[in-house]
Amino acid sequence: MLKKLFAVVLAAVAGLFASSAFAVAPTTIGELTTGISFADVSLGILAVAALMIGVYVIWKGAKMVIHAVKGM
């Protein structure tokens, strides 16, 4: 009995929160796409790529220095 009551209360609370998400539907695709911005995502990807390139350059430089010291 308690499980059924809990399930009913949970469904009611979830229904209250879910109803506001579908209150206003977009009428065109343009309204959907204007709210999306990938500027932050692309900035993050470029920052990670720059970091990886920096690590690669440092690693390659260290290998060149070690090779030069061993060659002497």
Q: pLDDT digit string (tens) for 5-28? A: 777 777 776 666 655 555 566 667
Q: Reduced to 3 states, what is the DSSP secondary structure of residue 35?
A: coil
Please tell me the distance from the alpha carbon of residue 18 to that of residue 2, in angstroms, as a whole number: 24
**17-42 burial code (b ≥16 CB/10 A, e <16):** eeeeeeeeeeeeeeeeeeeeeeeeee
- pLDDT tens digit sequence for 21-68: 555 666 677 777 777 777 888 888 999 999 999 999 999 999 999 999
| pTM, rounded to two decimals | 0.47
Picking from 60, 56, 47, the residue whose alpha carbon sits closest to that of residue 68 is 60
Give the CA distances from residue 38 to residues 5, 19, 50, in Å, rounded to whole numbers and listed in that order: 44, 28, 18
